[in-house]
């Protein structure tokens, strides 16, 4: 077994783990990133596509935004579609900020390239990862054929990773909200049908029109959580999208070859605390939000920014204040994002078996949001991202 000494062992090469490694490198702190999947897999794994203003500003600040600024799509508003018409939320007019549509997998590519160019140590296809001795000042990570001796371990390995399970049940509290619907996502080689995102409330269920580039459209449909993707032919998906997205002013949905199709469950999840000894959780390892609010990747970015500052204070100066407040600091933002995402989800989705009373409450909230400057500003402020 090979033994390697590093300051920070990072489990997971998603946006959280890779950005943390980059931020630590800028602070002069060594790290090793361990990833169970191949580089090809993580660079092709399609996930989030909305980058909040604070996240985009941070990527620019740390030298990771060249391709995002060249290929990303800045959006200064989005539409709430209901009653068969659009009601635009002017994000920049209301907040002075915007969002950028740029795929999570593209950020991962940029991070991997930057880390490898700087001599970073990223190990793909690592198996049998286990965490040890996190209650000491010399925690360890073992894996097939090797061991990392660390000062700190960062668990950035997602909802199903090994890190969170290391925290004793008596210490860890978990909170979960399962929603009675799922999203069927479609990636199509088709020019987007609208210049901005469209969040649609329809009597048949929610639909979302998004994009990844001027040539690729990302679309979502609300479906039952027990639906099988095999039962949704491309033609059936397109027919349902046309039905839910149609408007009285003649909106036309562009179709194209389907690149990818899948069903994702909807849940909210938070683990507290996000730190146990020298183990720190970040990103999906600590929290999951329903995707309606576009917060998942942005919360991961916020987590590792806080963590990088805390670890710099600990490892350079021996100061523990930021380390000790890490969990509380992150969780304040996490719970605000949970609240906003739940608000967007319940406002836009048709719950199975919901009575007309509930549907009319949703329409009332949508109409209020679309006509009240105060309500629209609150939504916009949360959507573009609260300051770090």
Q: Residues with catalytic annotation?
A: 75, 199, 291, 295, 383
Query: Checking phi first, is residue 385 left (phi over 0); if not, alpha (psi -120 to 50) or beta?
Result: left
| Three-state DSSP class for residue 342 | helix
Separation in Å, CA 211 to CA 190, 195, 239, 335:
9, 9, 19, 27
Q: Give the Cβ contact number of residue 135 at 10 Å.
A: 11
Q: Which two tokens stand for residue 175?
A: 């909170």
Separation in Å, CA 349 to CA 87, 327, 361, 365:
17, 31, 12, 12
Separation in Å, CA 197 to CA 74, 90, 164, 175, 357:
11, 12, 34, 30, 28
CA-CA distance, 238 to 256, in Å (whole number)? 10
Helices (H), 10-103: 15-26, 39-44, 53-61, 66-71, 91-95
CB 310 within 8 A of CB 154: no
CA-CA distance, 91 to 88, in Å (whole number)? 9
Q: Any residues with CB less than 8 A from the CB of 185 and at least 6 apart, and which?
A: 218, 219, 220, 260, 261, 262, 263, 264
């Amino acid at each position: 077994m090979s033994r390697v000494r590093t300051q920070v062992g990072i489990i997971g090469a998603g946006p959280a783990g890779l950005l943390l490694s980059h931020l630590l490198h800028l602070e002069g702190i060594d790290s090793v990133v361990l990833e169970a999947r191949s580089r090809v897999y993580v660079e092709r794994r399609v996930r989030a596509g909305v980058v909040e203003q604070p996240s985009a500003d941070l990527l620019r600040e740390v030298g990771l935004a060249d391709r995002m600024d060249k290929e990303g799509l800045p959006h200064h508003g989005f539409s709430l579609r209901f009653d068969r018409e659009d009601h635009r939320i002017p994000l920049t007019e209301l907040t002075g900020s915007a969002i950028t549509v740029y795929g999570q997998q593209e950020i991962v590519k940029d991070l991997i390239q930057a880390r490898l160019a700087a001599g970073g140590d990223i190990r793909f296809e690592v198996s049998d990862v286990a965490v040890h001795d996190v209650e000491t000042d010399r925690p360890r990570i073992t894996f097939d054929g090797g061991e990392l001796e660390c000062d700190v371990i960062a668990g950035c390995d997602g909802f199903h990773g090994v890190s969170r399970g290391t925290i004793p049940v008596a210490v860890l509290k978990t909170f979960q909200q399962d929603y009675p619907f799922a999203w069927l996502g479609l990636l199509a080689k088709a020019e987007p049908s609208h210049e901005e995102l469209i969040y649609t409330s329809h009597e048949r269920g929610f639909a979302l029109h998004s994009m990844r580039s001027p040539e690729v459209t990302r679309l979502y449909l609300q479906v039952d959580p027990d639906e099988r993707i095999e039962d949704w032919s491309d033609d059936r998906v397109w027919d349902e999208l046309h039905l839910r997205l149609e408007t009285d002013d003649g909106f036309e949905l562009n179709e194209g070859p389907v690149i990818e199709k899948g069903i994702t469950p909807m849940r909210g999840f938070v683990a507290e605390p996000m730190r146990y000894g020298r183990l720190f959780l970040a990103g999906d390892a600590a929290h999951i939000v329903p995707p309606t609010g576009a917060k998942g990747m942005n919360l991961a970015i916020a987590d590792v920014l806080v963590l990088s500052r805390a670890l710099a204070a600990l490892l350079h100066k021996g100061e523990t204040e930021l380390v000790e407040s890490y969990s509380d600091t992150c969780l304040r933002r996490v719970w605000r994002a949970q609240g906003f995402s739940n608000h967007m989800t319940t406002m836009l989705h048709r719950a199975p078996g919901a009575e007309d009373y509930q549907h009319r409450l949703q329409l009332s909230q949508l109409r209020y949001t679309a006509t009240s400057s105060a309500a629209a500003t609150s939504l916009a402020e949360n959507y573009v991202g609260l300051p770090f």
